Amino acid sequence: MSQSTSKKRLSREDSQAQTRARLSETAQQLFVENGYGGTSIRDIAERAGYSQGAFYSNFASKEELLLSLLRGHMEAEAVQLSSLMDSEGRTPEQILTELESWAATLNHDADWCMLSIELQLHANRSPVFATEFQAVWDAHRAGLGRVVGKLFATVKRQPPEDPEELAAAFMALTHGLALQRVGKGPDSSGRLIVLFLRGLIAAAAPLE
Amino acid sequence: MSQSTSKKRLSREDSQAQTRARLSETAQQLFVENGYGGTSIRDIAERAGYSQGAFYSNFASKEELLLSLLRGHMEAEAVQLSSLMDSEGRTPEQILTELESWAATLNHDADWCMLSIELQLHANRSPVFATEFQAVWDAHRAGLGRVVGKLFATVKRQPPEDPEELAAAFMALTHGLALQRVGKGPDSSGRLIVLFLRGLIAAAAPLE
Amino acid sequence: MSQSTSKKRLSREDSQAQTRARLSETAQQLFVENGYGGTSIRDIAERAGYSQGAFYSNFASKEELLLSLLRGHMEAEAVQLSSLMDSEGRTPEQILTELESWAATLNHDADWCMLSIELQLHANRSPVFATEFQAVWDAHRAGLGRVVGKLFATVKRQPPEDPEELAAAFMALTHGLALQRVGKGPDSSGRLIVLFLRGLIAAAAPLE
Amino acid sequence: MSQSTSKKRLSREDSQAQTRARLSETAQQLFVENGYGGTSIRDIAERAGYSQGAFYSNFASKEELLLSLLRGHMEAEAVQLSSLMDSEGRTPEQILTELESWAATLNHDADWCMLSIELQLHANRSPVFATEFQAVWDAHRAGLGRVVGKLFATVKRQPPEDPEELAAAFMALTHGLALQRVGKGPDSSGRLIVLFLRGLIAAAAPLE
DNA sequence: TATGAATGAGTATTCATTCAT
DNA sequence: AATGAATGAATACTCATTCAT
């Protein structure tokens, strides 16, 4: 009578999904605030309003939780990249505008960016984590690289570097700026990426 | 009897300075390897070959040691920046080459760069540390900003952005790339900075 | 409708009996491998292929399960002892051979023996358990004591000790040897018991 | 001035030795009472009147403490065995009496015996521990084996079994009886060992 | 100045057990 | 009857820090 679509009672699955989601969310906040190493499972559970045991009913370990966040990260970014790529026949100006708003969106929630830094730092320390991380990272880099390559093709100029390397540089710029910015002013990485890209195009040799 | 200027026996002061130096050095390595939070005072003391007590004879706390490293950081960078600035009458090409080698030097010891990231992360967490850190950071940013401004002046172009902001962007790029690179290939931040700068110059309006 | 005597579907009772049997069996293995204290209910349930809840549907607690194993133990041993006792008119040689094969059987499944040790250890710690354990133990000791007494009567010699004490000593020997033997060579307790018994007989005074 | 032989102040070494000794002693009691697995480091430290950290200043882990107890065990037993062996020209009766008092002494402190069982159980579970344990065990077995061999030589009889195997059987008997006896009556293992030995001698063939 | 034993709060993780489904 | 998410206390062990030597 009272379960299924009711708002009061959640089915067991939904209830666990909720617990898991709340723990994930809280963990993400805390990783950004205090770093991965500086965040204890007790902190996460307490702040999310659960027992420590509840954490272990949902995640096998702290690292597994980080991996789970990484996967969420990956999915969100894949969505954004595909919207940068899939529609045809845009002008270079349109592509640049979209790139700028891509960076802005990514970082409007500055937390995403700091989390990304925590992920990178942890990948540098845990080989297990590094393996999964690398895959996500490479995919992302390749996706953004294709956008950059497409931009140069549209303006009929030769990219002065492997577009993937340029993409990696833009990601690095974004992360480095997030590190500087924490809690301070607004994010300028979108604007700077566009500025740099315009410069590269201006200095690039025409195709052929 | 046997101390003072002898080479065998160090004066008490020198001996303490040596202890302090060895602890600092070891701490820096460990912060880079394992992060600030991931490094214990016991680790530092043990790896440096001292007791934990020796650590507390030289530093009031772990954070005080980090501040001490920050000051060393600052001095080293001030030296490098001043050598970028002080000689007159260079061609734009020379300035770019020097900028490239500046980035290369800074990161040839990639450790410096990762330590810088640890410093930034910790500044985001400890207000006490943040204050001291900000001063150092601002000075550095201003110094590098002047170099960038000088470059645009030399080529008689209008910088497309406050030179200090560009300087911050290059530092961000350098840090972001260091994060990506750990343990992997060689550093490419110098090359990329020069590439971006050439682009900006190519796209910049002439002065007046 | 479709259960009762069918072979495909077990009646609800049979199905629960099966669950209980599988949990018991698995628990016994694990107690032997890791000790009573070293075995968690989760381990038992998981290895048996059930949930933790299923455990609590069948046993009130871990100790209750141990008691259940103890009762199984008791029944099995009672069967073996009665087969040592019930047939009349055997020669001493036959009795000794049977004793040897009793020990061998008991320990061929060395697990029985290690479980017995775990039971004893736990009885030393839990008064509740000790009470039930004592009853089983005493019955077993009396039964084996009668076998020993019968042997001395058959050879018309005076036992040099209360036959029950001798029986307890043989059980102790068996357990002590099991403890030494774990995972190693074959069990020699049967042979040693016979060796010692022959000695006692050789040294014993004739009756009257 | 005031340290060294003073009773009030212990030197740092002595003070640590005392801490270590108290922790060892307490641990031994608790291992006997609750088993190795059933004893927590918190229990040990609390009962001994120290912090948990003090435990880790003295022992690297719980297992290392067990190894330390094992070594103490070994030394104590070596002393007892050598006193069984070294004086010449004893009658068989004297040797038997000494064997009886050996068993009695060993177990007068019944704790030793239960500890020995805990050691054996743990050796069956931890390969690291097993290695060290085996060495001690083998030495002990060989020592007691020599005593048994000497006894048969003295009475000019052929031992019906490798004396070392007989020795192992007596140790097993002692341990098995300790398991039965906990908290109950007095130890009878010395008496039983002598009884069995007399029997073996009575049944043994004369030397050549 | 340097030592390192000791502290007490903290770490990640596992436990037996409960209870809504 | 069986499930498994959740609990809260316990586990072994590490931490930064103190202080008598």
Q: Collect all residues with Cβ–Cβ distance below 8 Å to B125 and sequence separation of at least 6.
A: A33, A34, A35, A38
Predicted model pTM: 0.85
What residues in chain C have their Cβ under 8 A from chain D's Cβ atoms?
A: 34-35, 37-38, 117, 120-121, 124-125, 160-161, 165, 168-169, 171-177, 179-180, 182-183, 188, 192, 195-196, 198-203
In a domain, A208, yes or no: no
Q: What is the CA radius of gyration of chain A?
A: 20
Query: What is the distance in angstroms measured between the alpha-carbon CA of D52 and the sugar C1' of E7?
Result: 9
Q: What is the pLDDT of residue C5?
A: 46
Closest by Cβ to D171, choosing from C171, C176, C192: C176
Average pLDDT over residues D67-93: 82
Residues D44 and D73 in one domain: no
| pLDDT tens-place string over residues D53-76 | 999 999 999 999 999 998 888 888
Q: Is the pLDDT of residue B83 over 70?
A: yes
| pLDDT tens-place string over residues C78-121 | 887 787 777 667 788 888 888 888 777 766 567 788 888 999 99
In a domain, D134, yes or no: yes
| pLDDT tens-place string over residues C31-49 | 998 999 899 999 999 999 9
In a domain, D174, yes or no: yes
Inter-chain touch D173–C172, beta carbons under 8 Å? yes
Q: What is the pLDDT of residue C157?
A: 96
Residues C68 and C109 in one domain: yes
Contact status, residue C178 vs residue C107, Cβ threshold 8 Å: yes
User: DSSP secondary-structure letter at A157?
Assistant: B
> To 5 degrees, how large is the angle CA C138–CA C143–CA C146?
125
Residues A19 and A79 in one domain: no
> Which chain D residues contact residue C176 at CB under 8 A?
169, 171-177, 179
Q: Quick check: do B and D touch, 3+ CB pairs under 8 A? A: no
Q: How far is B120 from chain A (nearest CA, A)?
A: 7
- Report the domain count for chain A: 2
In a domain, B3, yes or no: no
Q: How many angstroms separate the CA atoms of D10 and D13, rounded?
A: 8
Tell me the residue range of the domain where C116 lies.
Answer: 63-203
Residues A129 and A169 in one domain: yes
- Work out the burial of residue D108: count CB atoms within 10 Å of its CB; fewer than 13 is exposed, 13-18 middle, 19 or more buried: middle
Closest CA to the C1' of E11: that residue is A40
Q: How many angstroms separate the CA atoms of A136 and A123, rounded?
A: 12
Tokens of A170: 């833009």
Q: What is the pLDDT of residue B87?
A: 63
Residues D54 and D105 in one domain: no
CATH number at residue D20: 1.10.10.60
Residues D74 and D48 in one domain: no
Residues C122 and C94 in one domain: yes
Residues D42 and D97 in one domain: no
In a domain, B144, yes or no: yes
Q: Which amino acid is at D178?
A: A
In a domain, D208, yes or no: no
Q: Is the pLDDT of residue D192 over 70?
A: yes
pLDDT (tens digit, 0 to 9) for every residue of chain A, 208 residues total? Answer: 444 444 445 576 778 889 999 999 999 999 999 999 999 999 999 999 999 999 999 999 999 999 999 888 888 888 887 887 776 678 888 888 888 887 877 666 778 888 889 999 999 888 888 998 999 889 889 999 999 999 999 999 999 999 999 999 999 999 999 999 877 778 888 899 999 999 999 999 998 7
* Mutation for testing the B interface, residue in A36, A179, A189 having most B CBs under 10 Å: A179
Contact status, residue A175 vs residue B179, Cβ threshold 8 Å: yes
Helix (H, G, I), strand (E, B) or coil at C157: strand
Q: What is the pLDDT of residue D202?
A: 96
Query: What is the distance in angstroms measured between the alpha-carbon CA of A112 and the sugar C1' of E10?
Result: 28
Q: What is the pLDDT of residue A5?
A: 41
Residues C178 and C93 in one domain: yes
> What are the residues facing C157 on neighbouring strands?
C206
| pLDDT tens-place string over residues B153-166 | 999 999 999 999 99
In a domain, C208, yes or no: no
CATH number at residue C126: 1.10.357.10
Q: Is the pLDDT of residue B6 over 60?
A: no
Inter-chain touch A177–B168, beta carbons under 8 Å? yes
Residues C11 and C44 in one domain: yes
Tokens of C166: 């001798």
Residues C86 and C50 in one domain: no
Give the residue on D whose Cα is nearest the Cα of C159: D195
Q: Which of A44, A59, A74 is the last residue of a domain?
A: A59
Residues C31 and C123 in one domain: no
